[in-house]
Amino acid sequence: GLDAVRDVIYFIETYDITTARASTPMYLLARVIKSMGIKMVLSGEGADEVFGGYLYFHKAPTPQAFHEETVRKLSKLHLYDCLRANKSLAAWGVEGRVPFLDKEFLDVAMRINPAVKMCPGKEIEKKVVREAFADILPQSVAWRQKEQFSDGVGYSWIDTLKAVTAAAVSDE
């Protein structure tokens, strides 16, 4: 895992620690996917932005503010998450498709009343998506606590990755 950091930085073309942290698990996953002979995967980029999946969305004061933030996040997604995912997967020749960013899907999803998508207080985020897949996914998956993709590999591994990256990598 940690031996891949230099390769990850090469393929994602940045020394940014946060980007390397988020890219490394996807890069390693893509390596395994490639070894299984799989050429294309579906990825969840866009779901958090469309449905207010980030924890700070809990604090949105109004449906209008919630909607405006989803639009703002979507407008910048191609600069970060999509680029990172594409480069991490492409390093192993795996194509990533992003169904939550499909134009027709977005046309519908962004017209959903923002009040329905809001998650005030302790209400779980992305409830609309969770309810849509509740009959398909195991309950333990559909209703689990949100984690950043990179945190899904374990916090101790990520802490070690951050330390190794910070020590070994610079902008020089």
Query: For all residues of the chain together, what is the average pLDDT?
Result: 89
Buried b (16+ CB within 10 A) or exposed e, 75-103: eebeeebbbbbbbbbebbebebebebbee
Please give the biggest Cα pair distance in the chain: 51
Give dist(CA 165, CA 62) in Å, integer.
Answer: 39
Residue whose pair of structure tokens reads 């590999």 in the numeric block: 153
In order of 51, 62, 71, 114, 156, the CA distances from 68 in angstroms are: 12, 10, 5, 9, 35
Which residue segments constitute the domains of the chain, with CATH numbers given?
2-161 (3.40.50.620)
Mean local confidence (pLDDT), 134-151: 85
Range from 20-34, 99-113, 139-153 that averages highest in pLDDT: 99-113
In order of 14, 35, 70, the CA distances from 86 in angstroms are: 14, 18, 21
Q: Which of 43, 153, 146 is nearest to 89 (CA)?
A: 43
Give dist(CA 119, CA 53) in Å, integer.
Answer: 9
Among 27-31, 123-127, 145-149, 162-166, the range scoring the smallest mean pLDDT is: 162-166
Q: Does the structure show a pLDDT above 70 at 33? A: yes
pLDDT (tens digit per residue) in 57-113 = 999 999 999 999 999 999 999 988 999 999 999 999 999 999 999 999 999 999 999
Which tops the pLDDT comparison, 21 or 34?
A: 34
Q: What is the pTM of this model?
A: 0.82
Give dist(CA 161, CA 30) in Å, integer.
Answer: 18
